[in-house]
Amino acid sequence: MRVDVCVITCLRPRGLYRLLGGIAALRLPEPAPELRVVVVDNDAEGSAREVCEDAALWLPFPLVYRTEKRRGIPQARNAALAESLPYADFVAFVDDDEVPDSRWLLELLRTQRETGAQAVTGPALPAFESAPPRWIEESGLFEHPRHATGAALAVAYTHNVLVGVRALAAMDALFDETLALAGSSDSEFFARFAARGHRIVWCDEARTSEWVPPSRARLGWLLRRALRVGASQSRIERRGDARVARWRIAGHGGWCLLRGLGEAAWRAPRGRGPAARGLFLAAVGIGRLAGLTGWSYREYRTIHGR
């Protein structure tokens, strides 16, 4: 069995080095698969080349390095798949601001073998680079939903996922490059993936740590992310029945806005953290409504962390 661990990176040499160190420490099942690491550098100047050349000297697995000069997250993901689809049986994606647990890949493969699912995804747990304000922890806005291992899901994200190459090859299109720096190209792809009849299941033991720099542990960044999430999802949903989608999006956006403002006001006496959750929901609603006009926020123009 051949498995490629695919990483896309852009101007995060320290994070990439940290991630590659985590990959070097992975425990593998017996018999061990043939493992490669595929790094796609989305910096046109190839700034990750030096890190990869150094890592190739001590990684216990072959490392393939290539650049994708067209700036965009889906562009880089598709470049990684172009490298992996002719070679691998499974592709595992992990982000350059993460570090996998030593059992990460072992658990993904175990769950895939036991369930027969075409995709297996797991948790990305926040790891703050410096101690965040107390209200950040109280808000829970960096916590992602968790599920029982084997639970069926309707979507997955590339910060922690294993996907069968046969299922990928059966898709009419891979990651949508029109979303470029606006985000949500992974959720858009895996929604289509599930709609095609491919199973996505959860593996709670396949954990990664997602490093959060101080520039993200702020209310302003959280609200901008909420706007981006809302707008991107509206843009994706408008591709269906436009008239029905517009009414549904408008209704949901208005509900999020009013519910969020109400929760923020009601929870404000309990502290900044609970109020921030309400403001986040309200910002998602604003993004949903703004997305109806075609507005988008290119969150990933700015690189956080190094």
Predicted local confidence at residue 242, as pLDDT: 62
Q: Map tokens 């107390």 to a residue.
A: 134
CA 214 to chain centre: 19
CA 187 to chain centre: 8
Predicted local confidence at residue 241, as pLDDT: 61
> Furthest-apart CA pair in the chain: how many Å?
57
Predicted local confidence at residue 244, as pLDDT: 63
Determine how many CB atoms are found less than 10 A away from the CB of residue 152.
Answer: 12
Tens-digit pLDDT profile for the chain (306 aa)? Answer: 999 999 999 999 999 999 999 999 999 999 999 999 999 999 999 999 999 999 999 999 999 999 999 999 999 999 999 999 999 999 999 999 999 999 999 999 999 999 999 999 999 999 999 999 999 999 999 999 999 999 999 999 999 999 999 999 999 999 999 999 999 999 999 999 999 999 999 999 999 999 999 999 999 999 999 999 999 989 888 876 666 678 899 999 999 999 999 999 999 988 899 999 999 999 999 999 999 998 989 999 999 988
Instruction: Report the sign of the C-alpha dihedral through residues 81, 82, 88, 89, in that order.
Output: positive
Question: How many Cα atoms are found within 13 Å in the side-chain-facing hemisphere of 25?
Answer: 12
Determine how many CB atoms are found less than 10 A away from the CB of residue 86.
Answer: 9
Which residues make up the CATH 3.90.550.10 domain(s) of the chain? 2-212
Say if residues 248 and 241 touch (Cβ distance below 8 Å): no
Fold for domain 2-212? Spore Coat Polysaccharide Biosynthesis Protein SpsA; Chain A (3.90.550)
Predicted local confidence at residue 239, as pLDDT: 75
Predicted local confidence at residue 72, as pLDDT: 97
Nearest alpha carbon to residue 156 among 119, 125, 130: 119
Q: Which two tokens stand for residue 166?
A: 């046969």
